Structure 1
Amino acid sequence: MALFHHHILIFLLLLLHHVPPCPATGGGGSWSLLLPSIGISAMHMQLLPTDRVVIYDRTDFGTSMISLRDGKCRPNSDDCSAHSVEYDVFHNSVRPLMVLSNVWCSSGSLMADGTLVQTGGWDDGDRVVRVYKSCDTCDWQEIPSGLSQMRWYATNHLLPDGRQIIIGGRQSFNYEFYPKKSGNENSPSLPFLVQTIEPNIENNLYPFVFLNTDGHLFIYANDRAILLDYVRNQVVKTYPTIPGGDPRNYPSTGSAVLLPLRIVQGIATHVEVLICGGAPKEAYVNANKGKFDGALNTCGRIKISDPDPQWVMETMPLARVMGDMLLLPNGDVLLINGGSAGVAGWELGRDPVLCPVSYRPSNPTESRFQVQNPTTIPRMYHSTAILLRDGRVLVGGSNPHDKYELGKNVLYPTELSLEAFSPPYLDSSSLGFRPVIISPKTVIHHGEWMFIRFQVSCPVDPNLVLVTMVAPPFNTHSFSMNQRLLVLDAGNTTVAVGKSHYEVSVMAPASSNVAPAGNFILFVVYQDIPSEGIWICIQ
């Protein structure tokens, strides 16, 4: 009850300050508080194939609210608190982890074997590679000089050859790979990261990066993008500046997704990127002077696979900065977290946006957005969100301060809680349409046919069945690295194989350019309602 009253008090204080009202929703969705405190603020999150989530903040926040196990302390320190935890989704519990070097504003991605490889950070952690493999007693393993360059606010992506690419970071206008092919592997220069620096800001941080289906990388920074052949270090395409020219990357933090890839006979021919929110030019400079400009309410959508790609602009029902964009199993995009004024950075954001918004890419332009029911907990700077296998969205974090501020003397206290947002497809009214996968195949190969049996209590129209695969991303600072959703062509291959039992046939993606080898969550979707997912591994 004390926690409930605490959140109600915060909610009332925010109302007195200013919280943008949500438009009439009609979208539904529901919220639940999972844990009142996990002991740390969830600045970074990654879902693992064990249905556990690695979460961490930074090692120099001061003492956290959760102790390390067995009376341990960090080496050469009197800090005996944890700055990383593993959240067990099934048991709704956390276990403290020992991270040695500073992971503040770092990056990472899952490797093909399900290991989290996390890179960089601040101070003693800026060249460190950290590896985490989930088990009941596992902990972080650190490689002190795993990187050739400092990586702070960099972006990672899993590549077709199984390695990670690490792009950019503060004062690091280049990229490198992990693991290295040789000890002297260089870090190719990327002038694009210098050319796109926002005026009056020294760096170009957390660029949006997506693997295109031709094997090249789409890289977006502030107001424009390139297609990079990273093997030859050549720019093979330059995209036009987004209309308006306002910045979308940190600290004018918008978010971005690679829209669902529709796979026909293993191949995707149309590739689109959606970028939403951010802050106007000069917003960062103004916020540092105490003037908090309103966030952008626009999204730009571009077909990066077109010979002559052009931006198409759309207007969101709610302006948003520092928001997260997540791909849901039915192909919708969820916009969640963030504020409606200011920018990212200590004390620089204002006016939390409490309502998520869903975006349906295949709908007509005027009917793509739908406002969802609000939370009562502001999720501002350093908040996170990831999709879970059961279709819920795990939401945590929010700390706009350079240390833990848990009292009532700040506008947005450090938030240690975890929430879950359940999209409308999890409403009880959808239960009769929700598929249940009953005969999964957990290991597949590129181009292989999959025969998936599932159960639905109502009669099934074969034309309304989809199979989707989601790569679980690494989420921090409003961007989900390595996020990818594939819609596998089911055609009308769904057939009845017994009472309320059906089988659908789909072909796996044909190449690692479309789907790098690794772990995905597979869903059967009927009438936009997804099953609980199952873990599969593409080899």
Structure 2
Amino acid sequence: MINSKNTFIVTTSILCLSMAILSEGQANPFLLQLDRWEMLLPSIGISAMHMQLLHNGMVVMFDRTDFGTSNVSLPGGICRYDPTDTAVKFDCSAHSVLYDVVSNTYRPLNVQTDTWCSSGAVLPNGTLVQTGGYNDGERAARMFTPCGYSETCDWIEFPQYLSQRRWYATNQIIPDGRIIVVGGRRQFNYELFPRHDSRSRSSRFEFLRETSDGSNENNLYPFLHLLPDGNLFVFANTRSIVFDYKKNRIVKEFPEIPGGDPRNYPSSGSSILFPLDETNNTDIEVEIMVCGGSPKGGFSHGFTRATSTCGRLKLSDQNPIWEMESMPLPRVMGDMLLLPTGDVIIVNGAGAGTAGWEKARDPVIQPVIYQPFDHLFSVMSTPSRPRMYHSSAVLLPDGRVLVGGSNPHVYYNFTNVEYPTDLSLEAYSPPYLSFTSDPIRPKILLTNDKVLSYKRLFNVDFSIAQFLTVDLLSVRIVAPSFTTHSFAMNQRMVILKLLSVTRDQLTNSYRISALGPSTAEIAPPGYYMMFLVHAGIPSSAAWVQIE
């Protein structure tokens, strides 16, 4: 074991220095040597418009049933008949697949109602609930309960479960384990899943009516974040509020984001809630960030340059105001994901235009990593292909980012177009996955508690190759997101309180003792990826369930 603290400081300083951007829009050459793209599969048969990582390490993906025939058949000779479908009325192809991350294989799933522009969230027991869509799917609720890859679990559908049409709605898990479904095209209301009884109805939400700007409705897929007080942060168009859904009242309204440019679909910026830090005995700082989008009127004014601004809003301040920053690359339809380190990756999207069929140009093929503490953007290396409208991305337990999709056309279109429909899957490895960081990378050996309780002690055993600096070690839980249309629903990170670290001299391993999250408002019940992060380098995750 290397005991030299100075050696550690030098190594860490080099890694931290490498994250600094050289100049606006310029890639850092050191970072380009550390990150990489990997083509996983040239085709999964469908375009991954929607993605959800499950706690068994598999990813459910789907597009829509009225695209036409996909490139993968439904299992068991099943077919779908829809007399109203304008593309193909009798369809024996699949529009959903289950992807196994470990084996890098997939199998088709049977979804019968149209999932186009729908939403989702995972229940505390690990079951994916997926809501809404188009035509015969607009009021549907669908459930997928994880099972082994070789087993036959599939979608179970309830075609008329929802009280309203939910097309372009947003879902958020709430502290009692239910899911709130907010908005949708011309739906100025919200409802809860599961409903109390067959008479349950939606509740009016006038804020969505107020933020609608007519036919383009730049408040679709509103950004929702669950706050530590149990209320919701809701961002629609240019406005944002704290909303008490239990009493159906606005608790607080914030200043409009400067610039006047809309950020929701079809302008399609993105948003994240920064990690909630429970390591100190003080009030938790709560801050959100909104990045990118398209200028006002962009949907009807051709391929206008995308928005390059980001706004940070610290909700926990007494009088929050927007702090504006500029991305090195303008971007619309970008996906923002929290990395295990707490940094933010922005990937996919275009430099001009909006969401919609053939509405964007100039694909942005370079990811950007943002360091919140230092307010630094770094432009990363180049992927192999554009990811335009209907692309998506999720964080994987090994720290990679899974990226797929792109279909900016009315139907599947693979030839004679500028941006063909893309059925491939890629994985992006950020710089922290470089072998150069292996000496200080933690490796989780054993999670003694697979089920965590609120405010209860738990232990994790881990090893490290060379040396450990306890002051630079943290324990983080990350809720996997349902990602579609540039928003990762339910994405959440909580930094847990670390109580002690002890070393086993015989095995040369370590044990941490830490506290589970304090409340269900901080971390709603369900499955989370647990990462150990040491000096900015994360372990692979272990799955834990919070009850």
Q: Using structure 2 for the length normalisation, give the TM-score.
A: 0.91
1:125 aligned partner, one-letter code: G
Match of 2:48 among 38, 42, 54: 42
SS where residue 32 of structure 1 aligns?
A: strand
Query: Per the alignment, do residues 208 and 463 of structure 1 end up closer, same or farther by CA in structure 2, a change over 3 Å counting?
Result: same
Q: Stretches of 4+ moved more than 6 A in 1?
A: none
Q: RMSD of the alignment, in Å?
A: 1.5
Q: Confirm or deny: 8 A CA contact 2:65 2:116 kept in the other structure.
A: yes
Pairing 1:512–2:520 present: yes
Could you report, residue by residue, the CA deviation over 1:134-155 in whole angstroms, capped at 9, with x for unpaired residues? 2221110001221001000000
The answer to which of 159-168 and 77-86 deviates more is 77-86
Could you report, residue by residue, the CA deviation over 1:107-137 in whole angstroms, capped at 9, with x for unpaired residues? 0101100000000000010000000012221
Matching residue of 2:482: 474
Question: Deviation of residue 489 (structure 1)?
Answer: 2.8
Structure 1: unaligned runs, 5 residues or longer: 1-19
For residues 307 and 141 of structure 2, the distance between their equivalents in structure 1, rounded to whole angstroms, comes to 35
Pairing 1:162–2:185 present: no
For residues 265 and 298 of structure 2, the distance between their equivalents in structure 1, rounded to whole angstroms, comes to 12
SS where residue 324 of structure 2 aligns?
A: strand
Aligned identity (percent) is 51
2:111 aligned partner, one-letter code: V
Q: Confirm or deny: 8 A CA contact 1:381 1:400 kept in the other structure.
A: yes
The within-5 A match list for 1:116-131 is 116-131=128-143
2:77 aligned partner, one-letter code: G
Matching residue of 1:10: none
Pairing 1:113–2:125 present: yes
The within-5 A match list for 1:350-365 is 350-363=361-374, 365=375
For residues 418 and 493 of structure 2, the distance between their equivalents in structure 1, rounded to whole angstroms, comes to 37
Query: Per the alignment, do residues 101 and 311 of structure 1 end up closer, same or farther by CA in structure 2, a change over 3 Å counting?
Result: same
For residues 321 and 201 of structure 1, the distance between their equivalents in structure 2, rounded to whole angstroms, comes to 16
Matching residue of 2:440: 433
Question: Deviation of residue 265 (structure 1)?
Answer: 6.3
Q: Confirm or deny: 8 A CA contact 2:218 2:237 kept in the other structure.
A: no
Q: Confirm or deny: 8 A CA contact 1:266 1:508 kept in the other structure.
A: no
Structure 2: unaligned runs, 5 residues or longer: 1-23, 83-88
For residues 187 and 264 of structure 2, the distance between their equivalents in structure 1, rounded to whole angstroms, comes to 16
For residues 196 and 71 of structure 1, the distance between their equivalents in structure 2, rounded to whole angstroms, comes to 46
Question: Deviation of residue 505 (structure 1)?
Answer: 2.1
Question: Deviation of residue 25 (structure 1)?
Answer: 4.8
For residues 375 and 318 of structure 1, the distance between their equivalents in structure 2, rounded to whole angstroms, comes to 15
Q: Confirm or deny: 8 A CA contact 2:217 2:265 kept in the other structure.
A: no
For residues 431 and 182 of structure 1, the distance between their equivalents in structure 2, rounded to whole angstroms, comes to 53
Pairing 1:91–2:73 present: no
Question: Deviation of residue 395 (structure 1)?
Answer: 0.2
Pairing 1:27–2:31 present: yes
The answer to which of 87-96 and 261-270 deviates more is 261-270
1:361 aligned partner, one-letter code: P
Q: Using structure 1 for the length normalisation, give the TM-score.
A: 0.93
Question: Deviation of residue 449 (structure 1)?
Answer: 1.4
1:346 aligned partner, one-letter code: W
Pairing 1:238–2:245 present: no
Matching residue of 1:262: 277
SS where residue 522 of structure 1 aligns?
A: strand
For residues 512 and 21 of structure 1, the distance between their equivalents in structure 2, rounded to whole angstroms, comes to 40
Question: Deviation of residue 222 (structure 1)?
Answer: 1.2
Matching residue of 1:17: none
SS where residue 469 of structure 1 aligns?
A: strand
For residues 268 and 155 of structure 1, the distance between their equivalents in structure 2, rounded to whole angstroms, comes to 28
Could you report, residue by residue, the CA deviation over 1:327-379 in whole angstroms, capped at 9, with x for unpaired residues? 1111111000001100000000110111111111112x3xx211111102100
Matching residue of 2:91: 79
Pairing 1:186–2:190 present: no
SS where residue 301 of structure 2 aligns?
A: helix
Could you report, residue by residue, the CA deviation over 1:235-289 in whole angstroms, capped at 9, with x for unpaired residues? 00001101111111000010000001111368861100011101111111102xx
Match of 2:300 among 243, 265, 285: 285
Pairing 1:384–2:384 present: no
Pairing 1:54–2:60 present: yes
Could you report, residue by residue, the CA deviation over 1:83-104 in whole angstroms, capped at 9, with x for unpaired residues? 0000011110010011010000
Question: Deviation of residue 307 (structure 1)?
Answer: 2.0
Q: Confirm or deny: 8 A CA contact 1:273 1:302 kept in the other structure.
A: yes
For residues 410 and 21 of structure 1, the distance between their equivalents in structure 2, rounded to whole angstroms, comes to 28
Match of 1:332 among 328, 343, 351: 343
Pairing 1:100–2:107 present: no
2:495 aligned partner, one-letter code: V
SS where residue 425 of structure 1 aligns?
A: helix
Aligned residues: 511
